[in-house]
């Protein structure tokens, strides 16, 4: 397989001391090899660039990345997904969902949300699914639903954004309240008046964290 040597190279670069530090930063939820991101990208880029030229999406490789114990493997998987993003369709959304909820944490959710944002511009059905995710029992699906439009700028569907935010008001969950503020902060760069109005409209229901984050550029 095209990726066998890549994984061997990564595993040979293991740095025990840095691995402990990286795992601690992620609340010790995942083991690491201890490879800093710039070095990781430098190692895997030639492999991924070559694989991305293939017509088909290698889901076997992506799934293998999620089966590997060390967190860097999931990072490699997301790099590959971004490299073949244009080949994805709305039919791949369930597969992406599985990745988000398997070995879940913010580092993966906050990368894959941008892929979903890209898909939403091509497939309106993705927006409908994000509304469903915004009411999920799964924290990370809700976070992705809140944040998936954060890079869409003027293409943001504000009606949908408001609905999704409303579905998540009243929670004390840090990662949700942070996401609400983050999504609004990003959109405020494009349409600050809309964000001001929304903050005013839901001021009594929004968490202080959300308001603080959303107001950063206002």
Domain count along the chain: 1
3-state secondary structure 3-67: CHHHHHHHHHCCCHHHHHHHHHHCCCCCCCCCCCHHHHHHHHHHHHHHHCCCCCCCHHHHHHHHH
Q: Residue 62 is part of which domain span?
A: 1-87
Asked if residue 212 belongs to a domain, the reply is: no
pLDDT band of 1, cuts 50, 70, 90 = confident
Contact 146, 183 (CB under 8 A): yes
Asked if residue 173 belongs to a domain, the reply is: no
Asked if residue 168 belongs to a domain, the reply is: no
> Could you read off the pLDDT of 104-126 as tens digits, one per residue?
999 999 999 999 999 999 999 99
pLDDT band of 33, cuts 50, 70, 90 = very high
The domain that holds 62 is classified in CATH as 1.25.10.90
Tokens of 169: 């008001």
Tokens of 161: 């954004």
- Percent of the chain clearing pLDDT 70 (strictly above): 100
Q: Which residue has the tokens 């308001």?
A: 211
- Specify the pTM: 0.95
Asked if residue 137 belongs to a domain, the reply is: no
Asked if residue 204 belongs to a domain, the reply is: no
């Amino acid at each position: 397989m095209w990726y066998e040597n890549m994984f061997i190279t990564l595993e040979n670069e293991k740095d025990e001391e840095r691995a402990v530090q990286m795992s601690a930063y992620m609340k010790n939820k995942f083991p690491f090899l201890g490879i800093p991101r710039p070095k990781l990208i430098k190692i895997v880029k030639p492999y991924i660039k070559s694989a991305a030229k293939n017509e088909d999406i290698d889901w076997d490789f992506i799934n293998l990345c999620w089966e590997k114990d060390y967190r860097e493997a999931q990072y490699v998987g997301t790099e590959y997904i971004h490299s073949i993003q244009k080949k994805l369709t709305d039919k791949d959304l369930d597969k992406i969902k599985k990745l988000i909820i398997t070995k879940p944490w913010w580092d993966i959710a906050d990368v894959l949300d941008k892929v979903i944002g890209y898909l939403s511009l091509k497939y309106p059905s993705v927006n409908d699914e994000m509304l469903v995710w915004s009411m999920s029992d799964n924290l990370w699906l809700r976070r992705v639903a809140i944040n998936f439009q954060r890079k869409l700028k003027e293409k943001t569907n504000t009606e949908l954004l408001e609905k999704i935010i409303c579905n998540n008001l009243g929670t004390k969950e840090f990662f949700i309240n942070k996401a609400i503020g983050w999504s609004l902060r990003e959109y405020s760069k494009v349409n600050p008046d809309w964000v001001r109005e929304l903050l005013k409209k839901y001021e009594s229901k929004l968490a202080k964290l959300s308001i603080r984050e959303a107001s950063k550029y206002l």
